[in-house]
């Protein structure tokens, strides 16, 4: 541990965000970076406590106290090596992870956790700029081949480790570019797509083959892929969105959040001409239904498209400002989150149930909502309507940000007759193997919609299991 009393001398200092009036005029990243000196001082605040709760709460088991100490000492290269040992894409998690590590940091008891997430991204960005990260293809190939289907963080993490282990890996992706929801879901103002391109270029130089515009189960039959590879890793995400099948759902002007966000990401990258973007919030009264992160991303994107007003509603009650007794430290704090998009100008309402859409076939005009009350009954939350509270919220663009229910079943999953669990996710054993020999699965398609860091952890685990499986096979002649 570098500075035994660093946390007593140095206050938490965040890099902060670009000024609001500036950032809403473009789609570039909102968060800024601290200079190296400040960053090292921030790392000195890590107490290297005997039990590193931060490490315990990080899904990829990042060695946080170790790299914080190396960062404090200015040993950036060594800090990167420790970080790289557990995380394939720290440049992504360092930007958009909800940082459960900081919730569990001992200094968070006093509400001033170490800036772990920002330290993480600073280390990896320094490693890129100083040239510590170079393509390192495997010295020897094993002769075994693996198909990874789906190029989100789970598929990319699995492909990266399997390729580095010497297997010949082909990554199939149905979209025109690799990256999954990191590329087409998460807005550029949270995660620049140049960050994903830089990593994918590196992986290609290390020998990974990527085939985009190739939907397995449609463009190539899944059985053909099974017959051509020694093992498969299915990482197709949880692509089936939750709908709101109410009266008026068919009215023009109601869209899934992902369609809206994908279009803007494609406009930003030049894949879609702005005039061809059919879902535009300009001058519209936008209503986002769903109070989560995807909803927040719709808020920020609508503001950048110059919406007239933006409102976000949520059926659950407003979260508390502080931890409740049943949600103590070091667990993730289930408290009110105000994102940078919310700060940019949005009305937020909670405990509102949507009853029906109002309008005509040609144009939605709003929604009818009713207040609801949540009470615990026999240990379970029960929702009841509050009489006399039905009202209308006007809107001419409605975005459904209600999450995802499970992976898309038609095509690959049904063709291979993969067994599903009771939530219709792909059923796997502890070793992430499916009911079919040599087929493994990872990420949101197994767990349901989750987080990038969980998808990376799952992809890493799948790679480890596939590697063990392949090493048991007889050598390829």
> How many angstroms separate the CA atoms of 415 and 403, rounded?
25
- Residue 100 found at the interface with ligand SF4 (CB under 6 A): yes
Supply the DSSP symbol for 474.
P
Q: Which residues of 208-234 are buried (b: 16+ CB within 10 A; e: fewer)?
A: bebbeebbbbeebebeebbeebbbbbb
What's phi and psi for 148, nearest 5 deg? -110, 125
Could you tell me whether strands 363-377 and 391-394 are parallel, antiparallel, or unpaired per DSSP bridges?
antiparallel
Q: Which does 441 bind (CB under 5 to 8 A by kind): ligand FAD, ligand SF4, none?
A: none
> How many angstroms separate the CA atoms of 5 and 164, rounded?
40
Which residues ranging from 208 to 237 are in contact with ligand FAD (CB under 6 A)?
Answer: 215-217, 235-237
Residue carrying structure tokens 């919406």: 307
Supply the DSSP symbol for 220.
B
- Residue 101 found at the interface with ligand SF4 (CB under 6 A): yes
Q: Please classify residue 158 by burial: count the beta carbons closer than 10 Å to its beta carbon, then call 0-12 exposed, 13-18 middle and 19+ buried.
A: buried
State in angstroms the smallest separation of the CB of 52 from ligand FAD: 21
Q: Which does 120 bind (CB under 5 to 8 A by kind): ligand SF4, ligand FAD, none?
A: ligand SF4
Out of 97, 122, 195, 196, name the contact with ligand SF4 by CB under 6 A: 97
Q: Which does 261 bind (CB under 5 to 8 A by kind): ligand FAD, ligand SF4, none?
A: ligand FAD
Cβ atoms within 10 Å of 43's Cβ, excluding its own: 29
State in angstroms the smallest separation of the CB of 76 from ligand FAD: 25
> How many angstroms separate the CA atoms of 361 and 152, rounded?
36
Q: Which does 115 bind (CB under 5 to 8 A by kind): ligand SF4, ligand FAD, none?
A: none
State in angstroms the smallest separation of the CB of 56 from ligand SF4: 10
Out of 99, 148, 156, 346, name the contact with ligand SF4 by CB under 6 A: 99
- Please give the structure tokens belonging to residue 258: 């992902």
Residue with smaller CB distance to ligand FAD, 144 or 190? 190
Q: Which does 101 bind (CB under 5 to 8 A by kind): ligand FAD, ligand SF4, none?
A: ligand SF4
| Secondary structure (3-state) at 231 | strand
> How many angstroms separate the CA atoms of 166 and 140, rounded?
6
- Residue 117 found at the interface with ligand SF4 (CB under 6 A): yes
Considering only the stretches 4-12, 116-124, 166-174, 244-252, report the one whose residues sit in contact with ligand SF4 under the rule CB under 6 A: 116-124
Out of 34, 46, 116, 267, name the contact with ligand SF4 by CB under 6 A: 116
Q: Which stretches within 18-115 are classed as H helix?
A: 20-23, 36-43, 53-57, 64-72, 76-84, 90-96, 100-104
Close Cβ partners of 113 (under 8 Å, ≥ 6 residues apart): 12, 102, 103, 105, 107
State in angstroms the smallest separation of the CB of 396 from ligand SF4: 38
> How many angstroms separate the CA atoms of 401 and 218, rounded?
27
- Residue 180 found at the interface with ligand FAD (CB under 6 A): yes
Question: Which x/- pattern over 114-153 shows residues binding ligand FAD (rule: CB under 6 A)?
Answer: -----------------------------------xxxxx
Closest C-alpha to 291, from 331, 259, 263, 318: 318
| Secondary structure (3-state) at 149 | strand
CB 456 within 8 A of CB 153: yes
Please count the residues of this chain forming the interface with ligand FAD, following the rule CB under 6 A: 42
Please count the residues of this chain forming the interface with ligand SF4, following the rule CB under 6 A: 13
> How many angstroms separate the CA atoms of 68 and 371, rounded?
47
- Residue 453 found at the interface with ligand FAD (CB under 6 A): yes
Residue with smaller CB distance to ligand FAD, 159 or 393? 159
Residue with smaller CB distance to ligand FAD, 145 or 265? 265
State in angstroms the smallest separation of the CB of 46 from ligand SF4: 12
Question: Which x/- pattern over 53-92 shows residues binding ligand SF4 (rule: CB under 6 A)?
Answer: -----x-x-x-x----------------------------
State in angstroms the smallest separation of the CB of 117 from ligand SF4: 4
> How many angstroms separate the CA atoms of 294 and 347, rounded?
16
State in angstroms the smallest separation of the CB of 110 from ligand FAD: 26
- Please give the structure tokens belonging to residue 333: 């704090």
Q: Which does 297 bind (CB under 5 to 8 A by kind): ligand FAD, ligand SF4, none?
A: ligand FAD
- Please give the structure tokens belonging to residue 167: 């297997």
- Please give the structure tokens belonging to residue 419: 């067994």
> How many angstroms separate the CA atoms of 168 and 145, rounded?
5
Residue with smaller CB distance to ligand SF4, 64 or 395? 64
Out of 43, 114, 222, 453, name the contact with ligand SF4 by CB under 6 A: 453
State in angstroms the smallest separation of the CB of 195 from ligand SF4: 15
> How many angstroms separate the CA atoms of 180 and 196, rounded?
10
Q: Which residues bind ligand FAD (CB under 6 A)?
A: 96-97, 149-155, 172-175, 180-182, 185-186, 190, 215-217, 235-237, 239, 258, 261, 293-294, 297, 411-412, 443-445, 449-453, 455
Residue ranges binding ligand SF4 (CB under 6 A) = 58, 60, 62, 64, 93, 97, 99-101, 116-117, 120, 453
């Amino acid at each position: 541990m570098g500075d035994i009393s660093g946390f007593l001398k140095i206050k938490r200092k965040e890099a902060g965000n670009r000024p609001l009036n500036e950032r809403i005029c473009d789609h570039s990243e909102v968060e800024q970076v601290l200079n190296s000196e400040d960053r090292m001082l921030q790392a000195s605040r890590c107490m290297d406590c005997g039990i590193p709760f931060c490490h315990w709460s990080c899904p990829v088991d990042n060695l946080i106290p170790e790299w914080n100490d190396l960062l404090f000492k200015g040993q950036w290269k060594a800090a990167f090596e420790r970080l790289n040992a557990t995380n394939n894409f720290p440049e992504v998690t360092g930007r958009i992870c909800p940082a459960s590590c900081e919730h569990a940091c001992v200094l968070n008891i006093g509400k001033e956790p170490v800036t772990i997430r920002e330290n993480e991204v600073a280390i990896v960005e320094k490693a890129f700029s100083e040239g510590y990260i170079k393509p390192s293809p495997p010295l020897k190939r094993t002769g075994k081949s693996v198909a990874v289907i789906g190029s989100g963080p789970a598929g990319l993490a699995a492909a990266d480790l399997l390729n580095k282990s010497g297997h010949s890996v082909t990554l199939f992706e149905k979209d025109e570019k690799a990256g999954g929801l990191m590329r087409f879901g998460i807005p550029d103002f949270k995660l620049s797509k140049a960050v994903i391109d830089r990593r994918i270029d590196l992986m290609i130089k290390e020998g990974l083959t990527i085939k985009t515009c190739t939907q397995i189960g449609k463009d190539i039959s899944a059985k053909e892929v099974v017959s051509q590879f020694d093992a498969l890793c299915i990482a197709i995400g949880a692509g089936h969105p939750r709908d709101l099948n109410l009266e008026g759902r068919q009215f023009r002007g109601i869209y899934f959040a992902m369609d809206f966000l994908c279009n803007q990401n494609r406009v930003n990258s030049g894949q879609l001409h702005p005039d061809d973007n059919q879902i535009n919030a300009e001058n519209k009264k936008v209503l986002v239904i769903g109070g989560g992160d995807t909803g927040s991303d719709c808020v920020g994107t609508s503001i950048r498209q110059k919406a007239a007003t933006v409102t976000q509603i949520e059926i659950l009650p407003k979260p508390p400002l502080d931890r409740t007794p049943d949600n103590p430290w070091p667990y993730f704090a289930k408290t009110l989150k105000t994102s940078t998009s919310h700060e940019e100008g949005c009305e937020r309402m909670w405990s509102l149930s949507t009853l029906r859409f109002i309008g005509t076939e040609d144009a939605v005009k709003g929604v009818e909502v009713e207040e609801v009350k949540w009470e615990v009954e026999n240990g379970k939350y029960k929702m009841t309507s509050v009489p006399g509270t039905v009202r209308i919220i006007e809107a001419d663009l409605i975005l459904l940000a209600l999450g995802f229910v499970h992976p898309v079943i038609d095509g690959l999953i049904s063709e291979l007759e993969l067994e599903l669990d009771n939530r219709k996710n792909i059923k796997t054993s502890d070793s992430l193997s499916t009911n079919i020999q040599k087929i493994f699965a990872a990420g949101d398609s197994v767990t349901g919609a989750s987080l990038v860091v969980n998808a990376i952890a799952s992809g890493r685990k799948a790679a480890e299991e596939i590697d063990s499986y392949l090493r048991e096979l007889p050598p390829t002649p």
